[in-house]
Each structure stands twice: as C-alpha cells, then as structure tokens.
A and B are shown apart, each in its own frame.
Chain A
Amino acid sequence: MMDIDHVAALARLKLTDREKEIFSRQVVDIIRYIDKLNELDTSGIEPTAHVLPMKNIFREDEIRASLPRDSALRNAPERDGGFYRVPRIIE
C-alpha cells in the first residue's frame, strides 16, 4: 500500500483527507501503469542510466559572467539586502 502521507511530506504538501484518498488511488494507478514495463523481458539487456551514446561532456574551468544581484533576487519571494529571506530553518 502506498504511504501517501510520506510522499506528501517529502514533497512538502499538505493534503486534506479527501485529497489523500483521491491521490492515493491516482498514484497507485500511475505506478501500476509504469509497472507494465516490468512485463518486458530484459534479462539479456545490460542496465543503463542513459539512452544516449554520449560520455565525457565537459566545459573548461573558465569564468563566465554571473547574473547581476538584483536580477537574481528578483525571483525571491522575499529579500533582505543582498540575501534571500526564508522561513527559519534551524530551531
């Protein structure tokens, strides 16, 4: 059985009881659908993390311009001088 509370907590979501019921069912459906892949016989296939035949994609260690601070902070919900301001993390 799917632990919807755990998944919601990991995603920082607060769900109502009704939402929990709906999402539990939907998530189980999704997993069941993806499980179809397990029907394929992959016994002779080597596991891979990537589908592209590429490796060693690098950049040289060269500095490129950073964003002006005001542009970077424009997306901040709140700012404090040059900092992002967020709810307190450590008690």
Chain B
Amino acid sequence: MQYETVIGLEIHAQLSTETKMFCGCPAKFGSEPNTQTCPVCTGMPGVLPVMNKKAVEYVVRTGLALNCNISSYSRFARKNYFYPDLPKGYQISQYELPLCEGGYVEINVDGGGKKIGLTRIHLEEDAGKNIHDGAGSESLVDLNRAGVPLMEIVTEPDIRSPREAVEFMKRLRAVVRCIGVCDGNMEQGSLRCDANISVRPAGQEEFGVKTEIKNMNSFRFVEKALDYEIRRQTAALREGKRIIQETRLWNADRGITESMRSKEEAHDYRYFPEPDLMPVELDGSWLETIRESIPELPHVRRARFISRYHLPEQDADILTADMATAEWFEEAVRLGGDPRVVSNWIRGELARLLNEDNRQMEDCLLKPEYLVDMLKLIDNGTISGKIAKTVFEEMYKTGSAAGDIVKEKGLVQISDEAGIGAVVDEILDEHPEEVKRYRAGEAKLMGFFVGQVMKKTRGKANPKIANELLRKKLG
C-alpha cells in the first residue's frame, strides 16, 4: 500500500529586539547565565509586565510580509504550566485573537509553485534554558532567555514531504531575515522548528495519528528527522501496529527520533485572558507605517533579478537567499559588472571561500568594487582568467584591491609574442617526443603543450596568444 505524508510546522522565531518582551532586560544571546534577569522576568510577586512595542510591530511586519490578515484587535492570554524555566508558573502567550491569522508562503517544488497556508502568527515569551547534566538527579536553570519575545508561526497541514518542509523553512528564514525581525540562526535556537507529522493510505481523506517532532536545529536535521519518522510510521502501519500520539525528539547522533518521556503529565493549560496586559488595537495609520518599513521581499527580488538581469532561476535563488548577497550582487552590477559574470563569481568562488571559512556574506572582506575592478583587468588583458582566481582568493583573504594584488605579486599577464614565443620554443625543445606525436596527428596533445606554457609562466601567459603561437610553431 502507498502512504501519503501530512506535515504541519510550528515555528518559533526569537525576535531581534534589544530587550525582552515585558521588561527592559537585554535579549542578547550567549551572556553569562542569569545575568539578564529582573523581578519581572523572574516572576517576583507584585510586578507588572509592560509590552515591548517593537516586538508587536515585528510580528505585524511578518504577518504583512506573509500575506496574513492582521487583527485590528488582539489580546494576550496566560498559558498555565509549571516548569522551572518559566518562574511565573505561566507563559504569557496569545490564544484567542492572535495578532495575525491566515496567510501563506509560496514554495517551489520540482519546478512548480505551491502555497503553504498559515493558520496564525502570535506573540509570546520564550522560556529559560534547562541544562540536564549526564546522569545527575538535578537540572540547572538559566533565565536569561526567559521573557525574550518569541513569534510562533503555525502552518496548515499542507506540507507533503520533508523536502517541502525544508523548502518552506528556507523561504520563511529568508523572509524573517530580510525584514529584520529574526536573525534566523537555527543552531543557536533563534529559529526553531517543530513538526506535526502523520502518514495515511494514499487517497484517504482522514488524517493518520500524528507525532510531534522536536529538536531539529538545522535544515538538514529537519529533512533527516522527517524522513526517518515517515519510515518509522509507515513500517509500523504495514505491520498492523498503531501509531501513538506523542512528542518525539530527533537524536542527531543516532539518526533517529525517540519518544520523549517527560515527567509532565497530560497538559491542561487553562488559558485565560492575561489581566495584566491591555489589548492591542492596530489602526490603519499604524499598520501603514509598519507596511512601509518592509523592504523588497526575497521572492519579489528573485522575480526582479530574473526579469531585469536575465538570470537563470537557479542563479536568482542563490543570489536572493539572503539580503547581503543580493545587495552585494546589485552593487557589483551597478558598478558595471556583467550580471551573469558577477553571478558566476558569487555562486562559484565566493560561495566556496565563504563556505570553507564558515562565514556569511556580511563578514566578507571582498568588496563588490574589487570584483568589478578585477573583471576589468581580465577584459583589458592585464590578467588571465586563470590568474583571476588567484587574485580573487587573495582579495577575499586580505580585502585588498585587485590592482594592488596584481602589482604586488607580479601577476600581470604576459601578452607579448616574443616573450611567449621564447617559452614555446623552450617547451618544444624539451618535449621532442610529444612534438613528433602531435605532428603525426595526435591533436589532443595541444592541451598538454598549453599546460606546459602555463606551468612555465606560472599561469601568466595569455592563453589565446599561447595557443596561436603553439599552432603556428607546430604546424
């Protein structure tokens, strides 16, 4: 029997505000434990939360960017549960009347477009962090994260494969980064993804029993964990077993999902309207101000790159995956770089170098104008295309301009016929055997001779002239 997968995602995105949701403590990641807390976020008696306006605006900005309906009237609720990382004994969240409802994200799968519906986006506070050390009978708690504004995005069960789930996450990440509401760092946990996943016999309308998968802190793990879970559920159903509705954790070391046995009993959150916070009412002019703060979105930019610069879709995908790359590209083109050529350098050499250093475009020393200068040096014959790679790598490492590197390292292309001619003569003298074979019809040896010329000139010979001279002298 064939099975079909049904996936819905629940994404938590930490908002890039300076301060927490309800107090002025810094929201910064990575500080010494328990150095960013105050009576409000540690749940001391008698304190009152006051909402961070920017956090509300960030959620609304996201809602507008993702085609949601923005609620003109929204309120907060208490979600009650005991957990040491939320010292109040409840989480301030939203239940009825969230800030955003509906909306969608359009993804590309196998060349076609597909809309993944959103159920809602709401604002809540993050919990602290628990550290469970090995076999000990205790947990350690750091409350720096308690109260950091968290945006929860819930999708409809529209996703049909792990690849679609990853594609959705990539699109979403690009959007939240582009509009500046979340840094999108999955490893540090500022963007987290939980999945509800079930399988059902193909053609069946009714959903199968779902499990909730947590702890997938990279795109790769999202794909692997969901792949694994589909295999596990399908195998169980084939054997006539039942799926248990439960929460499972992705174990990256073992490459499997494992049932999360928690001491928590069945949840009963007893939501009720948060009496300490007044409702949020968004009027037209405030909404307009927020709308105006949204820059060009990745999919819009992608379409523009294709139509304006005549780039292939794959190029546009990569160039618009993050804002810094898109801006770098456009700056280089604005300075006179050919769009296709600039794109090739970004996707090829630059991507490779950044990847090797595990760096982002933001920290790139190589400026767009340097690439454009270098391209001019290739065009006017000062350096060869081959040497350009060396120059490019040097520019990347040192942040120096192309011209300086070429001068300093003596990389100027040799284009005078006499100079190259002398090298060609030397090589023909040194390889009489190959010369004989070439003249007897082994044409593919031309590559060998060109290679020897390049080797001798350390890549500086103008390949066109080297070719011509070789052909003449061998002819």
Contacts and interface: CB of A to CB of B under 8 A. Distances in A.
Given A50-B278, A50-B279, A61-B19, A89 B42 contact: no
A55 B279 contact: yes
Given A50-B273, A72-B37, A87 B53 contact: no
A82 interface: yes
Contact of A49 (B23, B130, B143, B279): B279
A88 B52 contact: no
Nearest to B51: A58
A6 B270 CA distance: 12
A61 B17 contact: yes
B138 A56 contact: no
A72 B50 CA distance: 20
A70 to B, nearest CB: 10
Contacts, number: 138
B399 interface: no
Most chain-B Cβ atoms within 10 A of its Cβ — which of A65, A69, A84, A87? Answer: A84
Interface in A44-83: 49-50, 52, 54-67, 69, 72-73, 75, 80-83
Interface residues of A, number: 37
Interface in A12-57: 12, 49-50, 52, 54-57
Most chain-A Cβ atoms within 10 A of its Cβ — which of B18, B142, B277, B279? Answer: B279
Contacts of A66: 25-26, 35-38
B56 interface: yes
Interface stretch (B107-115, B258-266, B441-449): B258-266
A63 to B, nearest CB: 5
Nearest to B137: A88
Interface string B76-88: 0000101110000
Given A58-B53, A83-B142, A90-B263, A64 B23 contact: yes
Interface residues of B, number: 54
A10 B25 CA distance: 30
B19 A62 contact: yes
Nearest to B264: A89
A60 B263 contact: no
B53 A61 contact: yes
A85 B140 contact: yes
Nearest to B96: A49
Contact of A69 (B32, B55, B80): B32
B91 to A, nearest CB: 15
B131 A63 contact: no
Contacts of A86: 84, 138-141
B42 A91 contact: no
Contacts of B143: 72, 84
Contact of B50 (A59, A83, A87, A88): A59
B38 A59 contact: no
B9 to A, nearest CB: 23
A84 B140 contact: yes
A9 interface: yes
B132 A88 contact: yes
Contacts of A9: 265
Most chain-B Cβ atoms within 10 A of its Cβ — which of A6, A75, A82, A83? Answer: A83
A50 B76 CA distance: 11
Given A58-B52, A87-B139, A89-B263, A49 B75 contact: yes
A58 B18 contact: no
B189 to A, nearest CB: 17
Interface string B371-392: 0000000000000000000000
B281 A56 contact: yes
Contacts of A6: 268
B33 interface: yes
Contacts of A57: 50-51, 277-278
Contact of A63 (B26, B56, B84, B136): B26
- 6 closest pairs, A vs B, by CB? A64-B24, A49-B273, A58-B53, A83-B140, A61-B54, A84-B141
Given A56-B279, A85-B138, 17 more contacts: A57-B50, A57-B278, A62-B19, A63-B25, A64-B25, A64-B38, A65-B38, A66-B25, A66-B26, A66-B35, A66-B37, A66-B38, A69-B35, A82-B35, A84-B140, A87-B137, A87-B139
